[in-house]
Amino acid sequence: MNPRSPRQRATDILLALLPGIALLALWQWASGRLIRTIYISKPTDIAERLYEIFATGQIYPDLATTAQELLFGYLLGVAVGVVTGYVLARSPRLAGIFEPYVMAFYGIPKIALAPLFIIWFGIGMWSKVALAAVMVFFLVFYNVYMGVRAVDRDVVNTTMILGANEGQLTRHVYLPAAAPFVIMGMRMAIPYSVIGVIVGEFTSSNRALRDGEDIYPAWQGVSETGAGTVPRTRGEGAA
């Protein structure tokens, strides 16, 4: 296979960027012409506002809080999902008992849990961590569960005949075989953890990107240009 030339690679990159550029251009043109800017602001106004809050540094404390919530929620969801998925996959009896409950809980819209988590954990960081962890948990759990269940039984039996104990089976058979499923679940869970954190912050927050105390109410924070659709904050940081 012949390697692609730099010109061909540049052409491929340009073709991949064209739809996004066309969408931004249409957005810029439509805002203020087809749709009032109070409903959909212009990309240039948003870029100007983003530059302002990054240049002044007022967004960094809130950005750090959101990143912390995201990291804790993601790691917690992954850890619980991997352990639970592995334990239930290795124990058919436990799977028969708990799988119906997991399936029932999985059917609940996770976004609807945000108000409950705020009541239970308060409006601080941990309600967002809990919501992100729940959204991550199910994706990782089912991938690990299916990955361990998909391990060839003949390989397991052969390894046991050779004298492998449970720890060796876990390290040398189940985990390597389930690793692609685990990695896929972890990759799929990243955007869901972001959604969980942001939804939790929109619901209620005292320090984050969507800080309820720092964002002006919609009727105060939206300017005539519509740039207020990007959060407007008071002061230099979160309270």
At residue 141's C-alpha, the angle toward residues 150 and 189, to 5°, is 115
Cα-based angle 74, 75, 76 (whole degrees, multiple of 5): 95
Whether 238 is covered by a domain: the verdict is no
Residue 160, judged by CB atoms within 10 A of its CB (0-12, 13-18, 19+), counts as: middle
Q: Helix 125-149 crosses helix 175-203 at what angle (to 10 degrees)?
A: 150
Q: Where are the beta strands (DSSP E) in 70-228?
A: none
Q: Does residue 49 lie in a domain region?
A: no
- Domain assignment of residue 93, yes or no: yes
Confirm whether 214 is domain-assigned. no
Q: How far apart are CA 49 and CA 196, in angstroms?
A: 25
- 73-77, 94-98, 207-211: range with lowest mean pLDDT: 207-211
Is 21 a member of any domain? no
* Number of compact structural domains in the chain: 1
Q: Is residue 153 part of a domain?
A: yes
Distance (Å) of CA 100 to CA 85, 87, 103, 104, 142: 14, 15, 5, 6, 13
* Structure confidence by residue, pLDDT tens digits, 161-212: 877 777 778 787 888 888 888 899 899 999 989 988 888 888 776 555 555 4
Owning domain of residue 106: 60-203
Asked, for residue 208, whether it belongs to a domain, the answer is no
Q: Domain with 86 in it: what CATH number?
A: 1.10.3720.10
| Residue 53 maps to a domain | no
Per-residue pLDDT, 22: 94
